[in-house]
A and B are shown apart, each in its own frame.
Chain A
Amino acid sequence: MTGMRYAAFMIAIAIGVALGLLYGWVVSPVELVDTAPSTLRIDFKADYVLMVAEAYNVNRDLDGAARKIGPLGGEPYETILTVQQFGASAGYDERDLLLLGSLGEALRDWVPGQELQATPTP
């Protein structure tokens, strides 16, 4: 009889775990809200950086560009490199890749607040 009780006890535990998972995964699954840009999927991150590069290509605001890339996590230059590699593998338009390259080159030697020294005069 003790063996039966033990087996029933273990089965109850298993049922409890199953109920917990059922509730957590099916009945009330996690809804992601209030996320940060650093959690974005790589293609969305890449497009985010591309937007920054498009704007930078016109306004030449390197500090602003770096500040915008910051929430994606990591150093801006490293982020650019990652995005460039993704863009190349994902078949980004050549012009987009060049825009990313231009921003990446500018950010390579970028020092916060010294964008005039880091950006070559066109």
Chain B
Amino acid sequence: MSERQPPWFLVTGLVIGLALGLVYAWVLSPVETIDTFPHSLRADFLDDQRVLIAQAFVATGDLGRAQARLALLQDPDPARTLAMLAQRLLAQGEDADDARALGLLSSALESGVVGPGLVPALSATLPPNTPSPEALATDTPTPEANDVTETPDGSPTERATRTITPTPSRTPTATVGAPFQLQDLALVCDPALSPAVVQVVVVDQTGNAVPGVEVLVTWEGGRDRFFTGLKPEFGLGYGDFAMADGVTYTVQLAEGGDPVPGLSTGGGCPPTDDGTTLLSSWLLNFRQP
């Protein structure tokens, strides 16, 4: 009498089959990552992409196109993401122009418009000897610099399939008029502001907030800078800088104007009811005359 053996050969067959499948999938025909989408990019490449989108936006002022490009990255809150990236770049000492571009785009996304002073004049004038590439060896007229540019308002995919509706690009204008001037300087004694900060608010002639304004901060043995518009939740023309206790700062807009010296945390805030001395923050309002 022989005992009935379990069907080990079937289990063996399954294991061999799985092994064959894995060898095929991992060795013979491994996955090739091609035709990927921008949102799958590695984090550092995603940041590069955001910077690039911002730079292109600053160069063209085309907010619609920038929005379409950002949509491909699938950020839940693109404006906030850009603002945070800008602050991170500044903190890391990266190119301030990149941070500024990110701030400008973030602000534009928040406000929905490319406001005055947001971006430099569109100097996208092609050089006079602009070549026709080999692939484009056709006699196409060069658009005039002041033409309203017809640009696709959609994703690259949409462009590729020609299902786009061209929309005119917005042509931004440069900041015009006199440099911003200090309108008022106020001592701020707010226990919620810890550490104490230098707050700067910049508005134009008509009272509209102006993001992207570079603010220089100097003190004995050091200097730094920040930009308005990187904290859109406080207003597009707002920027701030954390002060260290015992240091006296001088603040000046990078584009000119008189420096504002003597800003320190010991500005004279009265003690609170429990005797605590508040650190002094400062609010500087700049306006274009």
- Residues of A at the B interface (CB closer than 8 Å) are 5, 8-21, 24, 30, 32-37, 39-44, 46-48, 50-52, 54-55, 57-59, 68, 71, 80-81, 84-86, 88, 90-102, 104-105, 120, 122
Contacts and interface: CB of A to CB of B under 8 A. Distances in A.
B174 interface: no
Contacts, number: 206
Contacts of A94: 140, 143
Nearest to A108: B131
Given A24-B21, A43-B157, A47-B156, A101 B127 contact: no
Contacts of A55: 52, 55-56, 58-59
A93 B48 CA distance: 25
B138 to A, nearest CB: 9
A47 B65 CA distance: 10
Contact of A8 (B7, B16, B59, B160): B7
Interface residues of B, number: 68
Nearest to B34: A39
**Chain A contact residues, majority secondary structure:** helix
A91 B20 contact: no
B210 interface: no
Interface stretch (B39-47, B225-233, B239-247, B257-265): B39-47
B279 to A, nearest CB: 41
A12 B127 CA distance: 69
B2 to A, nearest CB: 13
Contact of B49 (A33, A39, A48, A104): A48
A51 B52 CA distance: 6
A58 B59 contact: yes
A39 B161 CA distance: 20
Contact of B126 (A36, A37, A102): A102
B160 A5 contact: no
9 contacts: A16-B17, A24-B25, A42-B35, A43-B160, A46-B160, A52-B56, A57-B123, A81-B135, A97-B136
A50 B60 CA distance: 12
A20 B25 CA distance: 9
A39 B49 CA distance: 14
A89 to B, nearest CB: 9
B35 A41 contact: yes
Given A9-B9, A20-B17, A58-B58, A99 B45 contact: no
A85 B69 CA distance: 21
Contacts of A13: 13-14, 16-17, 20
